[in-house]
Amino acid sequence: MAILPPEQAGSVNAAPASSKTPFYRVLWVQVLAAMAFAIVLGYVDPVSAVAMKPLGDAFIRVISMIITLIIFCTVVTGIAGMENLKKVGRVGGMALIYFEIVSTIALLIGLVVGNVVRPGSGFNVNVATLDARAVADYAGQAKTQNVTEFLMHIIPTTVVDAFAKGDILEVVFVALLFGFALSAAGARAKPLVELIDSLTHVVFRVVNILMKFAPIGAFGAMAYTVGKFGLASLGPLAKLIGTFWLTSMLFVVIVLGAIAWAASFNIFRFLAYIKEEILLVLAVSSSEIAIPTLMAKLEKLGCSKSLVGLVVPTGFTFNTDGTSLYMTMAALFVAQATNTHLTLIQELTILSVAVLTSKGASGVQGASFIALVATLSVIPTIPVAGMALILGIDRFLSMFRALVNMIGNGVATLVLARWEGELGSETLRQNLARPA
C-alpha cells in the first residue's frame, strides 16, 4: 500500500497496469487474513492466543512513537507555507463547531437508543454481588474536569514534555506556535521550513516500513482479544454488544452518510478508500493507530497539508462520535441492569457531563471506559460498581467505538476541505475511485 504524501503519490498512480500488486500482497487482504487466523487460534487454543498479545502491543507502540512527530511536522510546514494565516483560525473555529454538533448528536442517539432498546433490562443485578475492586483502578484514574482545567491541560509543562507524554493536543498546540512563528519570520525561516518538510517525507517513509508489519500486529491484537475474553463471553451481553455495533454502523451510514452527501461525496466510496485503516482499527481497538496513514490518504485526496494537520489531530480529541455513542448507551445499560430508575433530569445531566468527559477519550484503549466511570460518578444513584458488568466485554465495544471515531474524523476533514474550496466535488469523486 502506498501512503506517501500527495507530492510523491503521482509516481505511484502513474505505474503501468502490468505492475499491479498481486492480491496476496495487498495490505488489507493480509490484515483480513491475519484477523481470520487470529480468531481461529483464539477459539482453538486460547492460551497460545493470549501469548500473542506482545505482537499487537509492539505494533501499536512503534506507530504511537512516531505519531507526535508526524503531527508536528505536518502542522508546522502546513501553517508556515500558508499565505493567509486567517484561514488557520477560520478552519479551527469551523472544525470545533462541527465537532461539537456531530458528537452531541451521537450522544443524543446513544441516549435515545438506550431508552428504546433497553439493553440492560432483565439483568436484575444485585450490586452487592459485583466485584467493585475490578472497577476501582479505573475509578482512581477517572476525574471530571471543568472547562478551565481542560483548557489548561492543552498547555504542556515544557515543549519536550508534550512529545514525551505523547499528548496529541499538546503537540498540536506547540506545532501551531512554531508554525505561526516560522510564517512570521518569512524568508529567514525558509531553511528551517525546508528541513522540517524534508523530515516529514522521511517520517512517512518510516511509516511505510512500519505498516508492512500491520498484519502481524493485527494478528496479535485480535488473537489476544478472542483468546482472553472468548467468543462465549459475548453471550450474556450480546444484546448490548449487538445494539452498540448496529447503532455504530447506522450512525456511519445514515448520519455521516448524510453529511458526506451534503458535501458531495459518497460515504461508501470513502469507506472503501480507507479499508486498510478500518481493518486495523477493528483489530487493535484503537483509532490512534490510523492517524499517520489516514492523514496521508486525506492529503492524497486533495486536502491541504495545513488543514489535515489541524483537523485530524484535534478531531481525535474533540470529535469522538463513537465514544459519545458508547457513553450514553453504556450509562443507561448500567442503570437498567441494576434497576436504577433515572429521571429525565438525571439523563440530561449524564448527557451534559459526557459532552466534556468524552473529549480526549478516543485513541487510547480503556480511556473511554475511564471517561464513563467519571461520568457516572456525577449521578450518585447509579452504582459505579455496575461498570464491572461490561468490563469484560469492553474490548469488543471499543472495536466499533474506535472505528466510528476514526471514520468521523476522516469525514470531518473532507467536509471542511469542501467548505474551504480546496476540493471540487468532481475531483474528490475521481480521487476516491482511485486505489489508495
| Per-chain mean pLDDT for the chain | 81
**Residue 49 domain flag:** yes
CATH of the domain at 208: 1.10.3860.10
Domain count within the chain: 1
**Residue 18 domain flag:** no
Cα–Cα distance list, 295 to 249, 262, 423 (Å)? 23, 22, 16
**Residue 15 domain flag:** no
AA identity, residue 245: W
Cell numbers at 110, concatenated: 446513544
**Residue 134 domain flag:** yes
Closest by Cα among 398, 214, 409 to 295: 409
Strand intervals (E) in 192-287: none
- In the structure, what pLDDT confidence band is assigned to residue 203 with cuts at 50, 70 and 90? confident
For the stretch 158-186, pLDDT in tens is 888 888 877 777 888 888 888 888 888 87
Residue range(s) defining the domain that contains residue 427: 6-10+23-433
AA identity, residue 333: F
**Residue 173 domain flag:** yes
> SS3 for 434?
coil
**Residue 1 domain flag:** no
Which of 13-22, 147-156, 219-228, 267-276 shows the lowest per-residue confidence on average (mean pLDDT)? Answer: 13-22
What per-residue confidence (pLDDT) applies to 129? 61
Q: What is the DSSP string of 195-255?
A: HHHHHHHHHHHHHHHHGGGHHHHHHHHHHHHHHHH-GGGGTTTHHHHHHHHHHHHHIIIII
363 has a pLDDT exceeding 60: no
For the stretch 307-325, pLDDT in tens is 888 888 888 878 889 888 9
Which pTM was predicted? 0.79
Report the percentage of the chain scoring pLDDT > 90: 17
**Residue 242 domain flag:** yes
256 has a pLDDT exceeding 90: yes
